[in-house]
Structure 1
Amino acid sequence: MSQLPLRAQLASALGRTAATLSRATGRGDGSVIGGRVGLMLEPDLLRQLAADRRLALVSATNGKTTTTRLIASALRQLGEVATNAFGANMPAGHVSALSSAKDAPYAVLEVDEKYLPEVLDTTQAGVVCLMNLSRDQMDRAAEIWLLAQKWRRALASRPTLVIANCDDPLVAWAASGAARVSWVAAGQRWREDSWCCPECGGPLDRKGADWACRECAFRRPTPSWVLDGEDVIDPRGQRWRLDLQLPGQANRANGAIALATVAAFGLEPGHALLGLREVTSVAGRYTTVERDGRSLRLLLAKNPAGWLEAFDVSDPALPIILSVNAQGPDGRDTSWLWDVDYRILMGRPVLVTGERRRDLALRLYVAGVPFQLCDSFGQAVAVLPPGRIDVIANYTAFQQIRTEFGRAE
C-alpha cells in the first residue's frame, strides 16, 4: 500500500474513531458511520484506500455476503484481507472496511447491486463476481433488467476479470460485454425472473441447465467451472469436493463462485478449500442459539428466491418460526410474499410473528398451510416444546432476533 495523503489519513483515522465509539456505546458495529465520517472529510477516500490493492467486488441479489466471506477466508492464506464482513455494502461500508485494514494487500468487498457501477468506477477493481439477479425490495429497488443493463455498461471494455454465473440469463447478458469473463455453472433454482431473453425480449427455451433464446443468438455461455452436486470441476477437468460447513445447494453455488474467484488471485482449489471449509456462519446466518432447552437455527430470507433456498436448508421434520417485517431495509411492499410457495411447510408446526405477521398469515391461509399467529418472537419460542426449531426471517426481523441473542456470529 502506498502512503495516503495527509487529508485521507486524517479522514480514515477519524472514521475509525467514530466506528469505535459506535460499538462502545452500543449503537451498532460501526461499519457504516465510520465510512460516512471519512467520506465527509475526504470525498475521494474510497478511491485512495482502494489504490494498490488486489481487489474483488462481489454482487448479487442473494448470497453476496456469504460468498464475500468465503473468498476472504480463502485469500487469507495469501495475506491480510480487508473485507466488509457484516454486509455494509455501500460506499460508506467499503470505506470502513478498507480503513480498518489499511495495510492489507488484498480486499474483498460485497457491493449492493445498484452501487456496483459506481464502486467499480471508483476502485478500479481487478475482479468482479456476479452471481444472480432477482426481484428484491420492489418498492425502492431498480427493476432487475435495468440493473443488468447498468452492469453491462459498467463492465464494457474494462480490463476487469468478471467471474459470472452462466446459469442466470440476466447475469450472463450483463457480463457478456466484458473483455474477460470466467464462466461458472453455479446453478439457478429460482427462474421466475428470467423466462425472457434480455437481448431481444424473446422467450428462452430451457433444457436442464442449458438455455437459449428462441429468436436470437443469445444462449448460455460455455462454463469453465462447473458445480456438479457436491463437487466443483475446474477448467482442467479436475474434481474438488467442497465439504462446506455451510448447508444447502445455494452455499455450494457460492463455494463454486468463490473457488473460481480465488483462482484469479493465483490460489489453487486444493488450498482455497481449506479456507472455505473454515466458515461456519455468516453474520448470524445458520447460527444455532439456545433458549430454555430450545435450539433455534437462524436462516435469512429476504425475497422469493431467498425463501426458496431457506426452505431447501430447513429440516422438514422440525417446527418452524417465520418472522417478517417491512422496514426500510426490507422494502415496505410485502406483495412478494405471494410469489413464495409456502405449501412446502405442510405438516409442520408453523408459527408466524414479526411486524407484518398478518400479511404472512393471510398468505399462509390462502395456501392452506395451518399456522399459529404470535405477537412476538419470544411468544413463538415459548409456544413450542424444548428441542430443535428452525427460524426463517427477513432482514430487519433477522437482525432483531440476532440482537436478542447477542448478535451471534
Structure 2
Amino acid sequence: MAGNSDPLTPRAKLAVTAGKAVAAASRAAGRGSGSVIGGRVALKLDPDLLARLAQNLDVVLVSATNGKTTTTRLIAEALRAAGPVVSNALGANMPAGITSALAGGSDAKYGVIEVDEKYLAGVARDTDPKCIALLNLSRDQLDRAAETRMLAENWREGLAGSKAVIVANADDPLVVWAASSSPNVIWVAAGQMWKDDAWSCPACGGVMQRPGDDWFCGECGFRRPTPTWALSGDHVLDPHGSAWPIHLQLPGRANKANAASSAAVAAVFGVPPQVALERMYQVQAVAGRYDVVQFQGRDLRLLLAKNPAGWLETFSLIDPPPTPVILSVNARGADGTDTSWLWDVDYTRLTGHPIFVIGDRKLDLAVRLEVANQHFQVCENLDQAVQMCPPGRIEVIANYTAFQDLRRRVGN
C-alpha cells in the first residue's frame, strides 16, 4: 500500500510517457483533455499499468448512477487534510481515463477515483481499494446500460469477499443488495428521493414494503440495515451520535447526502468529520455544474441532470416560480440514444415556471411537457431562449452532452 516506493517497470514508464504524449497531442489539436485516448495508448503498451500505478496508493473508488463526480471531489478535498491526492476530477471514469489520471499523480498518497457503474468490479480488481463508496443505482442510458438489478448483481458478485471497506447507502435497496456480499460494510442513511427502481426485492423479486423511511421485503425478510452514519437535516450524525454541521457551497439535499457519505469515507482514513466537512466547503462547482455564469447580461445557473433520478433532485433545488427554466436534452452517444426516460420524469413540478426548450431532442421534450400540461416555448438555441426569458436569474437544466454544449456557448 502507500509508502512503498516500487519504481515502475521500464515498460510501464514507457507506457506512461507515450500516453502523456498522445494526450498532449490530442489537447493541442483541440479534441478535449486527451485523458481517454492517452490512457488507451498507455494500457495497450502495458495492460497491467492501472494496477502498477495504484499499488503505492491508498485507493477510494466511488460509483453510482448520480452524484459520483461531485462525491469524488468532496472526498478528495477531505483527504487532502491527510496527504496529497490524485483523482480523475473531470469525470473520465472508465479504465483508460482512470489510468491517465493516476499517471499524473506520482507524489500522491491517496487515489480518489470515480468509476462508471459497469466497470466497478474490474477496476476494484486492478486497484485493490481500501474503501469503496456505493451511493445509488437507478435507470440511465436505457439503450446500453444493463437493467439496474443486473448492475446490482454485477456489483454483488464483483465485490464478494472484497477486503475493502464498503461505504454504502442504506436507503437504496439495490445498493444494499450489492454491498451485502462484502464482509466489511459501513451503512450511511443518505436518503433516496427516487424510488421507482426499487419496488421489487432484488433478493427474491417480492414486493417491497416502504413504511416511512424504512423498507423491507415482506416475502424473504431482506430489509434496510441499521446505519451508523446518517444525514439529518443540515448535519451529519457520526457513529458516536455527534452531529456535525454541513457547510457547502453546492446546493440541494442530494449534495448534503453526498457530503454525509464523503465524511464516512474520510473517517476510514482517519480524517475526523469536522475537518472533512470544513474542507468540503472549498468545492464551489464540479466540472461546471452549479456554476452561475453571466451571459447576455443575465445570470444563468448551469445544472446537470442525466436521468429521472437526477431530474427529480434538480427540480428540488431550483429557485421558486416564476423563475424561468431552460431545458436542454440531447441523445448522442454519451447520453444514450433512447429518450423514453423523459416519460419517467415528473415535469408537473415545473408548474408556474416559464419553460423554454432547446437541444437536439427538443421536440421529444416538448411532447412530454405538453402531456404534463406545462406552458413552454420551443427555441432554436440558448441565445434565443435567454432573449425570450423574463428578467432576472435563469435556471438551465441539461443532460450530459447538452450541458457540454451550454458550457462551450457561455465560455465556461
TM-score (structure 1 length as normaliser): 0.98
The one-letter code of the counterpart of 1:185 is A
Count of aligned pairs: 407
Structure 1 residue 102 and structure 2 residue 69: aligned? no
CA RMSD of aligned residues (A): 1.0
**Which position in structure 2 is the counterpart of 1:255?**
259
Structure 1: state its 5+ residue gaps. Answer: none
Find the partner of 1:274 among 272, 278, 281. Answer: 278
Find the partner of 2:393 among 355, 376, 388. Answer: 388
For the 8 Å contact 2:288–2:407, the answer to whether it is kept is: yes
For the 8 Å contact 2:247–2:278, the answer to whether it is kept is: no
SS of residue paired to 2:393: strand
Distance 1:370 1:253 in 2: 32
The one-letter code of the counterpart of 1:167 is D
Find the partner of 1:226 among 222, 227, 230. Answer: 230
Provide Cα deviations, 1:94-152, integer angstroms capped at 9, x if missing partner: 00110111221100000000000111111111111001000000010011101100101
**Which position in structure 2 is the counterpart of 1:324?**
329
The one-letter code of the counterpart of 1:238 is S
**Which position in structure 2 is the counterpart of 1:361?**
366
The one-letter code of the counterpart of 1:207 is P
SS of residue paired to 2:316: helix
The one-letter code of the counterpart of 2:389 is L
Q: Which moved more, 1:354-363 or 1:206-215?
A: 206-215
Distance 2:23 2:44 in 1: 14
The one-letter code of the counterpart of 1:327 is R
Find the partner of 2:133 among 120, 123, 129. Answer: 129
Structure 1 residue 292 and structure 2 residue 296: aligned? yes
Provide Cα deviations, 1:355-383, integer angstroms capped at 9, x if missing partner: 00000000000110010001112211122
The one-letter code of the counterpart of 1:114 is K
For the 8 Å contact 1:316–1:345, the answer to whether it is kept is: no
For the 8 Å contact 1:11–1:41, the answer to whether it is kept is: yes
TM-score (structure 2 length as normaliser): 0.97
For the 8 Å contact 2:329–2:359, the answer to whether it is kept is: yes
Distance 2:214 2:71 in 1: 24
Q: Which moved more, 1:282-291 or 1:11-20?
A: 11-20
Distance 1:64 1:164 in 2: 13
Structure 1 residue 75 and structure 2 residue 118: aligned? no
What is the Cα deviation at residue 20 of structure 1?
Answer: 2.3
Provide Cα deviations, 1:223-249, integer angstroms capped at 9, x if missing partner: 010100111100011000101111001
Q: Which moved more, 1:193-202 or 1:29-38?
A: 29-38
**Which position in structure 1 is the counterpart of 2:56?**
52
The one-letter code of the counterpart of 1:404 is R
What is the Cα deviation at residue 274 of structure 1?
Answer: 2.1
Distance 1:3 1:378 in 2: 53
What is the Cα deviation at residue 346 of structure 1?
Answer: 1.2
**Which position in structure 2 is the counterpart of 1:176?**
180
The one-letter code of the counterpart of 2:77 is S
Q: Which moved more, 1:74-83 or 1:90-99?
A: 74-83
**Which position in structure 1 is the counterpart of 2:23?**
19
Structure 1 residue 373 and structure 2 residue 378: aligned? yes
Provide Cα deviations, 1:19-43, integer angstroms capped at 9, x if missing partner: 2232233210122122112112111
SS of residue paired to 1:116: helix
Runs of 4 or more off by more than 4 Å in structure 1? none
**Which position in structure 1 is the counterpart of 2:97?**
93
**Which position in structure 2 is the counterpart of 1:341?**
346
Provide Cα deviations, 1:283-302, integer angstroms capped at 9, x if missing partner: 11000111121110000000
What is the Cα deviation at residue 386 of structure 1?
Answer: 4.1
Provide Cα deviations, 1:169-214, integer angstroms capped at 9, x if missing partner: 0000100110100000000000000011111111111122111110
Find the partner of 2:220 among 216, 220, 242. Answer: 216
Find the partner of 2:45 among 35, 41, 48. Answer: 41
Distance 1:382 1:108 in 2: 42
For the 8 Å contact 1:294–1:385, the answer to whether it is kept is: no
Distance 1:316 1:354 in 2: 24
The one-letter code of the counterpart of 1:117 is A
Structure 1 residue 398 and structure 2 residue 396: aligned? no
Distance 2:53 2:106 in 1: 7
**Which position in structure 2 is the counterpart of 1:148?**
152
Distance 1:14 1:366 in 2: 53
What is the Cα deviation at residue 344 of structure 1?
Answer: 1.1
Q: Percent of aligned pairs with the same residue?
A: 58
SS of residue paired to 2:302: strand
Distance 2:80 2:36 in 1: 24
Distance 2:397 2:199 in 1: 28
Find the partner of 1:10 among 3, 11, 14. Answer: 14
The one-letter code of the counterpart of 2:382 is F
What is the Cα deviation at residue 280 of structure 1?
Answer: 0.7
SS of residue paired to 2:404: helix
For the 8 Å contact 1:292–1:386, the answer to whether it is kept is: no
